A and B are shown apart, each in its own frame.
Chain A
Amino acid sequence: MDIDLLSNILYAMVRTGTPLLLVALGELVCEKSGVLNLGQEGMLLMGAVVGFVAALLSGSLIIGFLLAILAGVSMSLLFGLIALGFSANQVATGLALTIFGTGLSAFIGSEFVGKPIDGLDPFALPLLSEIPLIGKMLFAQDLVVYLSFALFFAVYWFFRSSRAGLVVKAVGENPHAANAIGLPVMRTRYFAVMFGGAMAGLAGGYLSIAYTPLWAENMSAGRGWIALALVVFASWKVERVLLGAWLFGLASILHLVFQGLGFSISSNLLATLPYAATILVLVLLSRNQVRARLLAPISLGKPFHANS
């Protein structure tokens, strides 16, 4: 395999892994606060459709991205209202958010299917992108990919060194104790959920504005769910989210790699790879029950009611 091909594979791996990274980072923060939001797929699709339509109608990619984020946040607030405000079952509410988001996004986007826009172009950094092998992968991407690097370091720093990060973890591990020492449990959880929504919205916008600049029904193809599995894969550790997202990016482009190498395997069969890889990863990480339970935030998925 020559170095140009390898360099291109690495480039595509990071590009494909970016939406997964964004969603998984958002969901990680959300889960650290003790909230399991299974609605990632719905928020992702809403971000994609709203971002695309906004970019198409306004002619401005920035407005597209901003509205995509706004769409993700609005969806997450809907989840927050029912799962946090009404203490409803988080699993059922998250599923509802996904089903609702799938339906609503298809409804909004039905007139925009197949319309083209000028997507976000890569922006190669001078000199750095000339580095052999990893130059293209890290420094010849578009701005959202760079932003995803920055967000990764921000979330890493947030949990490692910031007071607010500690509050989020405390609320996720033991909300009653956190409440007793005066930490705002509900407000923290709302913010964590909204951050998750913003990240999923941005990831959706990335899909429809930069990755494949068009809108198609259900275009996220399960990425929201894969990102949820990624958080389990990462054992709720930020640094492993990055690794996992890029590995899954690689699994998703393997069919291109195989085609490039001249193998003839049905593309539909190869398309099952990321999903099969997700299952494999879940199996490897969850096999040890005790370990799996110790790693997850203790109050994950449990509703909190201050006076109960």
Chain B
Amino acid sequence: MIKLEPRGQHSKLMAWLSPVLAGVLTLVSGATLFALLGQDPIEALHTLLILPVADLYGVSELFVKAAPILLCAIGLSVVFKAKVWNIGAEGQLLMGGLIGSACALQLIDAEGGWVLPVVLLSGMFGGALWAALAAWLKTHFNANEILTTIMLNYIALNLLIWAVHGPLKDPEGFNFPESAMFSDSALLPTLIEGTRVHYGMLFALLALVAVWVLLSRSFLGFQIKVLGLDARAARLAGFREKRLTWIALLISGALAGLAGVGEVTGPLGQLVPQISPGYGYAAIIVAFLGRLHPVGILLAGLLMALIYMGGEMAQINLGLPIALTGLFQGMLLFYLLACDVLINFRIRIPALAKPVAETIAIQEETAR
């Protein structure tokens, strides 16, 4: 029989070790799964995790995939610090893509350097607007943000599908549910010639630094953290809870919106129904896995992007279903939560442990 015994304090070491442990356990489970499916586990894991980044182009694609995930996850790290459970990064991303696309299509004949910033800002506005709805519902009506943000995700998805079938559909597009291609001045330039790595990755890195400064070097960030740790203490200290909730949600929404508009103006170049293969949900895992810390999030975000690419690679090379990606994401999060128990508890196996009296006797002996 295994027993859990409270440590009495947080283990800093375990807090950082647990994501690594979760990763290892996911790999072991993955290998077992591949073996059960009749694949060579080593070759399958190689296909999943090494092959996608075996060449420079692969590495560049990793950054393309990581950009939206990172932007969403960084935003989530701010709200999660405030213990506001924004599960709506996916919907905020979609709204960013939708509003940004509407703006880009309005400006389809415009030229000049101002077009792209306007489109990007409108995308951030779209994401922030969607998060603002959740903030309003939470602060004014006390509505649970987990449920409202999830509902807003479904609404955003349906609005997006409606828009590409209706008002934003390309009139010359043979009735395909797609918008027209954006004009060149509304497209995000690539960072590195010959690849698809676009400014979104740069935005993500800037956001990482900005959020790090916000959370660890500013009074506002301090207030957000206090609110998350102990809402009563924050109230007693005179911090304005509702204002902080609004700010945290707006930051997170705007960053998710930027992720969305970055996708439509970057790799896609137009509005399509599938902007995101669940980046907003994956970002939740990334935020937890990265311990809400910028460096952790960067590493976890790259890992998540790799899992997305690996899933595609496994589909092409091994004929495995693309849903493998979601399965690995889910396993990773589950193992993380299970391993996190070691932060506050240590495992004791009473059958193996020496009785307390004996231990004390030994200690006294050695003390003498």
Partners in one complex: yes
B208 within 8 A of A: no
Q: Cβ of B158 and Cβ of A272 under 8 Å apart?
A: yes
Given known contacts A88-B337, A104-B330, A107-B326, is B144 in contact with A232 (CB within 8 Å)?
yes
Contact of B154 among A100, A266, A272 (CB under 8 A): A272
Interface members, chain A 214-237 (any B CB < 8 Å): 217, 221-222, 225-226, 228-229, 232
Interface of B is mostly: helix
Contact of B146 among A81, A91, A268 (CB under 8 A): A91
Interface members, chain B 322-345 (any A CB < 8 Å): 322-331, 333-334, 336-338, 340-341, 345
Contact of A272 among B146, B155, B334, B345 (CB under 8 A): B155
Residues of B within 8 A of A87 (CB): 4, 341, 345
**Total contacting residues, chain B, CB less than 8 A:** 46
Interface members, chain A 250-308 (any B CB < 8 Å): 266, 268-269, 271-272, 275-276, 278-279, 282-283, 286-289, 292, 305, 308
Q: Cβ of B162 and Cβ of A282 under 8 Å apart?
A: no
The docked-state distance in angstroms from the alpha carbon of A103 to that of B322 is 10
Which residue of chain B has the shortest Cβ distance to A96 in the bound complex? B333
Q: Cβ of B340 and Cβ of A88 under 8 Å apart?
A: yes
Q: Cβ of A282 and Cβ of B137 under 8 Å apart?
A: yes
Residues of B within 8 A of A221 (CB): 154
Min CB–CB distance B149 → chain A (angstroms) = 10
The docked-state distance in angstroms from the alpha carbon of A82 to that of B340 is 10
Interface stretch (choices B197-205, B259-267, B281-289): B281-289
Q: Cβ of A266 and Cβ of B162 under 8 Å apart?
A: yes
B141 within 8 A of A: yes
Q: Cβ of A268 and Cβ of B334 under 8 Å apart?
A: no
Contact of B321 among A99, A111, A283 (CB under 8 A): A111
Residues of B within 8 A of A92 (CB): 288, 337
Min CB–CB distance A292 → chain B (angstroms) = 6
Min CB–CB distance B296 → chain A (angstroms) = 16
Q: Mark B265-302, 1 if CB is under 8 A from A, else 0.
A: 00000000000000001001100100000000000000
A-B contact count (CB 8 A): 138
Residues of A within 8 A of B222 (CB): none
B237 within 8 A of A: no
Q: Cβ of A100 and Cβ of B146 under 8 Å apart?
A: no
Interface of A is mostly: helix
Q: Cβ of A99 and Cβ of B323 under 8 Å apart?
A: no
Q: Cβ of A282 and Cβ of B285 under 8 Å apart?
A: no
Residues of B within 8 A of A97 (CB): 334
B159 within 8 A of A: yes
The docked-state distance in angstroms from the alpha carbon of A288 to that of B142 is 8
Q: How large is the interface on A (under 10, 10 to 19, 20 to 34, 35 or more residues)?
A: 35 or more
Q: Cβ of B144 and Cβ of A286 under 8 Å apart?
A: yes
Q: Cβ of A269 and Cβ of B334 under 8 Å apart?
A: no
The docked-state distance in angstroms from the alpha carbon of A99 to that of B279 is 12
Contact of B327 among A38, A81, A107 (CB under 8 A): A107
Residues of B within 8 A of A81 (CB): 338
A110 within 8 A of B: yes
Residues of A within 8 A of B143 (CB): 279, 282-283, 286
Contact of A268 among B85, B152, B161 (CB under 8 A): B161
Contacts A272-B155, A279-B147 known; list 17 others, CB within 8 Å. Answer: A78-B334, A86-B338, A87-B345, A88-B337, A88-B340, A99-B281, A107-B324, A107-B327, A110-B322, A217-B323, A221-B154, A229-B147, A269-B159, A279-B148, A282-B144, A288-B142, A292-B142
> Hey, which bits of chain B sit against chain A, CB under 8 A?
4, 6, 85, 87, 137, 141-144, 146-148, 150-152, 154-155, 158-159, 161-162, 165-166, 281, 284-285, 288, 321-331, 333-334, 336-338, 340-341, 345
